[in-house]
Amino acid sequence: MTTSAASALAQRKELADDPHRPQYHFLPPANWMNDPNGLMQWKGQYHLFYQYNPYSPVHERMHWGHAVSSDLVHWTDLPIALTPTPGRADAGGCWSGCAIDNHGTPTLLYSGVYPQVVCLATSADDLLTWQYYSGNPVIAGPPPELLAGTGGHFRDPFVWKEGNCWYMLMGSKIEGVGGTLLLYRSLDLTTWEYLHPLLVGDASKFQPVWTGEMWECPNFLAFGDQRVLLFSALGAQERDLLYPLYITGAFRDEHFLPLAQGMLVHGGYFYAPQVMHDDQGRYIMWGWLKEGRRNSLLEEAGWAGVMSLPIIVAPLPGGRLSLEPVPELTMLREKHWRYEGIELSRVSNFLLEDSRDDRLEMLAEFEPGQHCEFGVKLRCSPDGQEQTRLVYQSASQQVTIEREQSSANSEVDRGNDSVVIEAGEVLKLHIFLDHSVLEVFVNGCCYLASRIYPECRDSLGLELFARSGTVRVRSLDIWRLASIWNI
Ligand code: DQQ
């Protein structure tokens, strides 16, 4: 084992008993992580890079951490890929960016700070070590005519190829107008020509959703003729992270023709997603799941931030997106419980005594009656004081994660988060619980991610309940999931 692998393992072992630390989601050995970066499949292996501060659980002097997987589920830590280096354009930090295969040369384009510029690095040893390009920065900042309006916000290159040309999108803003993504073109990845903004937001519009004042972390996906643009919206302040948005449309003559827009993920904790195209033709997305607790608690814990599950993204008719966890995750399933035909009402809840746990997958199909409100309680303490509820209300067609009782600790987030769904005859909930991480896929097209931090070690209870009306649980499968770490 290399020294870096041994020290990563030692760090993982030290934190392994933390009851809030997820066990089947990827996260670094210790300390701070945020955005997924440079996702790429190389020689059959999946490479995940990520924004990483190896020294403390705060966002500071960002490096690129690196892990590799052959199955999308189990990960091996590799040495840090990019380190901010004095005298270079990334001296202040190696911020987010992407990976491409340039005719057999793995190449990273990433953000150097401060000021925000575009840097390039290549690898000659299958992504293990990276050589900083001597001509960096390849783009020294926003186009001069836009510089003042951007306030220097210029980051997170996303690069793709069309015919002979490379294109790049850069996250930015136009002061007093809104977020924007700037489009560049190149033939060799080192000389870039600025074309125009691919899209400009309108920060004065609050409906159907506020798109913020700055846009970061763009991704531009091609599904035949159809394109899906993803980006993350930033609010008025530098650290006011809002949410990821998507816009479907077409790309013609270097211009984007938007069609439909929506919120990519609900729940308030998923941010800065990046998507990878794999050799099975799938677009697989990861996002950063933020913490929902004070910095002092992060310092105490010694770690902060976790990757979402890998999620397959595909367009659906009507401008919506299908979002589903990758099927590879089924390899984690251990003990299984199955229930069928349970009738729930206000006087008849259903306690799932056998499957009490904090590391579960649940697949439930409900047939809601008229005017009903029902759901699943998770992480309940024996006295019911701590509990998190996932609730569906038929009148408002809302799915809500109710967290006000999720923790006895008042220093963690305990707000509710709701999403309105398209109701059908059946409500299908696919739930992943991994200690402090709760991810819910609703009807295959709506995804919520949240964080919960129960205090009581025994807050492991599970229960199906109805608050009003009646509901039939057509089927419920529950699996205990294995840890992905061999420690
Ligand atoms: N995080 C990175 C930036 C990006 C932001 C810095 C999004 O490149 O814009 O860690 O979370």
Instruction: Provide the CA 427 distance to its chain's centre, in angstroms.
Output: 24
Specify the CATH number for the domain of residue 392.
2.60.120.560
- 90 in ligand 1 pocket by Cβ < 6 Å? no
pLDDT of residue 240: 87
Domain check: are 264 and 337 in the same one? no
The alpha carbon of 432 and the centre of ligand 1 are apart by a number of angstroms equal to 26
- 51 in ligand 1 pocket by Cβ < 6 Å? yes
- 138 in ligand 1 pocket by Cβ < 6 Å? no
Q: Please, which residues bridge with residue 196 across strands?
A: 183
Closest by CA to 66, choosing from 117, 108, 16, 124, is 108
Calculated CA dihedral for residues 23, 29, 35, 41, nearest 10 degrees:
-80
Place of tokens 């925000």: 116
The alpha carbon of 239 and the centre of ligand 1 are apart by a number of angstroms equal to 10
- 41 in ligand 1 pocket by Cβ < 6 Å? no
Specify the CATH number for the domain of residue 172.
2.115.10.20
Residue 403 lies in a domain: yes
| pLDDT of 238 over the 80 cut | no
pLDDT of residue 427: 96
Q: pTM for the whole thing?
A: 0.97
pLDDT of residue 94: 98
The alpha carbon of 463 and the centre of ligand 1 are apart by a number of angstroms equal to 39
Domain end (from 297, 325, 353) = 325
DSSP percent split of the chain into helix, strand, coil, nearest 5: 5, 55, 40
Structural domain total, the chain: 2
Contact yes or no for 112/100 (Cβ under 8 A): no
Residue 9 lies in a domain: no
- 217 in ligand 1 pocket by Cβ < 6 Å? yes
Domain check: are 94 and 105 in the same one? yes
Cβ-proximal residues to 11 (8 Å cutoff; 6+ apart), any chain: 29, 30
Residue 78 lies in a domain: yes
Cβ-proximal residues to 98 (8 Å cutoff; 6+ apart), any chain: 37, 38, 39, 108, 109, 110, 157, 158, 159, 274
- For the stretch 300-330, pLDDT in tens is 999 999 999 999 999 999 899 999 999 999 9
Sign of CA dihedral 38, 41, 43, 46: positive
Ligand 1 mutation target, pool 37, 156, 241, 265, most atoms within 8 A of CB: 156
Domain end (from 305, 325, 345) = 325
Place of tokens 């990046």: 274
Mean pLDDT of the chain: 96
Residue 258 lies in a domain: yes
Mean pLDDT of the region 343-352: 87
Structure tokens at 134: 């001597």
Residues of the chain with pLDDT > 90: what percent? 92
Contact yes or no for 54/63 (Cβ under 8 A): yes
Domain end (from 309, 325, 341) = 325
- For the stretch 91-101, pLDDT in tens is 999 999 999 99
* Boundaries of domain holding 291: 19-325
Domain check: are 318 and 364 in the same one? no
pLDDT level of residue 4 (50, 70, 90 thresholds):
confident
Residue 152 lies in a domain: yes
Domain check: are 341 and 286 in the same one? no
| pLDDT of 331 over the 90 cut | yes
